[in-house]
Amino acid sequence: MTDEALIEAALADSGERMHKVVEHTKADFAMVRTGRASPALVEKIRVDYYGSEVPLQQIAGFSVPEPRVLVVNPYDKGAMKAVERALISSDLGINPSNDGQVFRLVFPELNEERRKEFVKIVKHRAEEGRVAVRNVRRATRHDLEALEREGDISSDDLDRAEKELENLTHEQIAEIDRLLSHKERELLEL
């Protein structure tokens, strides 16, 4: 492999891993309640479906007819009891109402104290995402330095690659900050 190819491969891998961190952080944010109904709040809940644990999204459809109401519609009506048990035992803190066909989850308004608590949680998750991006950067930098020590790339190539890596890191951290800002506004909105 040429110097360019080695560097490009390392940077592409690093970019892909950083992107996965950002996507994971985004998914974490979606799990934090905002006082609005969202399928993201329940789709990962595990349901004991005929002896195996499956995510709720595989056995039910979701709709949001009103901003604070989430309707869960199990595809198999025989799974109603299992879905109900999973919803009740989840950390949502909401009891579903069941009409025999669908479950309705009504999300209460969040008070100011609870909103601020959620903002702290989201900020903590954003910081975890930033740290994970920096860890990817550190690992890639270590790999690039090893390539230089082995004589596979020159020190000029290393400097250029490190600058590109730094730019990539800043872009991903900026994306996490943008997601955080959006989630904060969403949480504090009345």
Full-model pTM: 0.71
Distance of CA 188 to the CA centre of its chain: 20
Q: What pLDDT score was predicted for residue 180?
A: 94
Buried b / exposed e over 16-40, threshold 16 CB at 10 Å, is ebbbebbeebbebbbebbbbbbbbb
Q: Tell me the CA distances in angstroms from 189 to 25, 31, 96, 106, 116, one per residue in order.
A: 21, 17, 25, 18, 11
Question: Mean pLDDT over residues 40-46, rounded?
Answer: 83
Q: Say how many C-beta atoms besides its own lie within 10 A of residue 189's C-beta.
A: 10
Q: What pLDDT score was predicted for residue 23?
A: 94
Mean pLDDT, the chain, whole residue set:
88
In the predicted structure, residue 62 carries a pLDDT above the cut 80: yes
Q: What pLDDT score was predicted for residue 118?
A: 83
Sequence-ordered list of residues with C-beta below 8 angstroms from that of 137, at least 6 positions apart, any chain: 14, 18, 165, 166, 168, 169
Q: How far apart are CA 80 and CA 97, in angstroms?
A: 12
Higher pLDDT, 31 or 104: 104
**What is 91-150 written as a DSSP string?**
TT--PPEE-SS-EEEEPPPPPHHHHHHHHHHHHHHHHHHHHHHHHHHHHHHHHHHHHHHT
In the predicted structure, residue 21 carries a pLDDT above the cut 90: yes
Helices (H) and strands (E) in the chain, counts: 5, 6
In the predicted structure, residue 182 carries a pLDDT above the cut 70: yes
In the predicted structure, residue 124 carries a pLDDT above the cut 70: yes
Domains of the chain: 3-31+111-188 (1.10.132.20), 39-106 (3.30.1360.40)
In the predicted structure, residue 177 carries a pLDDT above the cut 90: yes
